[in-house]
């Protein structure tokens, strides 16, 4: 019974991840918890406005023309869309929209500034990896909120524009995910073993 439940939980987890993976074109910099949050935001925005956010988070060196770089993905993406590109190796942050009308729904400089501000902060005590995750999540949230506001709709999955708040959210998500994995792959057996031992002892 326990094995069956564990397998079912794993299948559910894999199925959920396969659904949520659709907003991420390249996600090599993102932690699993952040991937889920980014996809939640993208999916909610698409449901309420018809506009999808896609993310490229990569350590690859990008060419000078970011529009040309993203064209290779265009045919596989649901339109209309905005692609948020984050490439710290080449110190590039960009927003590529599927058409000019979508570009008018947000302030590109302000969205990019959310990421740049996080990465430039040398006094926050976060590792580069954490900074990149915070930066991407913050910019995606800002982008979604601006598009939603332009369409007079309210987002419920975006995160307040405060770095310390996002850091705390990331910690909860990461620790929560770690505990879930521990429970599925060993914690349940350990709990049952201790419980049985205590019952025998009585």
Residue range 56-77, pLDDT digits in tens: 999 999 998 999 999 999 999 9
Tell how many helices (H) and how many strands (E) occur in the chain. Answer: 8, 4
Say what the pTM is.
Answer: 0.72
Tokens coding 137: 């999540």
Residue with tokens 């599927």: 98
Per residue in 143-201, pLDDT tens? Answer: 999 999 999 999 999 988 764 445 555 555 555 554 555 556 555 565 555 555 555 55
Per residue in 90-109, pLDDT tens? Answer: 999 999 999 999 999 999 99
**Boundaries of every domain in the chain:** 2-201
Tokens coding 187: 């914690």
Asked if 124 contacts 78 with a C-beta cutoff of 8 angstroms, the reply is no
d(CA 145, CA 152): 10
- Options 3.50.50.60, 3.10.310.50, 3.90.850.10, 3.40.50.1820; CATH of 2-201: 3.10.310.50
Helix, strand, coil fractions of the chain, as percent rounded to 5: 65, 10, 25
Identify the CA nearest to 34 among candidates 175, 170, 126: 170
Is the preceding peptide bond at 80 cis, omega within 30 degrees of 0?
yes
Q: Buried b vs exposed e over 164-195: b needs ≥16 C-beta within 10 Å?
A: eebbebbeebbeeeeeeeeeeeeeeeeeeeee
d(CA 116, CA 92): 9
Look at residue 58 and give its three-state secondary structure: coil
Percent of the chain with pLDDT over 70: 69
What's the pLDDT band for 47 if we cut at 50, 70, 90? very high
Q: In which element (H, E) is residue 178 found?
A: helix 163-182
- What's the DSSP call for residue 89? G
């Amino acid at each position: 019974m326990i094995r069956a439940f564990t397998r079912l939980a794993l299948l559910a987890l894999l199925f959920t991840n396969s659904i949520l993976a659709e907003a991420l074109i390249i996600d090599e910099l993102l932690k699993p918890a952040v991937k889920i949050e980014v996809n939640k935001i993208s999916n909610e925005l698409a449901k309420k406005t018809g506009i999808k956010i896609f993310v490229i988070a990569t350590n690859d060196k990008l060419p000078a023309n970011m529009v040309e770089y993203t064209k290779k993905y265009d045919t596989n993406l649901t339109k209309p869309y905005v692609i948020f590109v984050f490439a710290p190796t080449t110190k590039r942050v960009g927003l590529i929209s599927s058409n000019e009308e979508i570009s008018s729904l947000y302030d590109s400089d302000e969205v990019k500034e959310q990421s740049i501000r996080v990465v430039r902060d040398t006094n926050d005590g976060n590792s580069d990896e954490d900074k990149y995750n915070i930066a991407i999540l913050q910019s995606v949230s800002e982008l979604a909120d601006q598009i939603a506001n332009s369409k007079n709709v309210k987002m419920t999955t975006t995160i307040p524009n405060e770095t310390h708040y996002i850091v705390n959210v990331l910690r909860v998500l990461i620790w929560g995910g770690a505990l879930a994995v521990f429970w599925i792959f060993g914690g349940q057996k350990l709990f049952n073993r201790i419980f049985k031992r205590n019952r025998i002892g009585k």
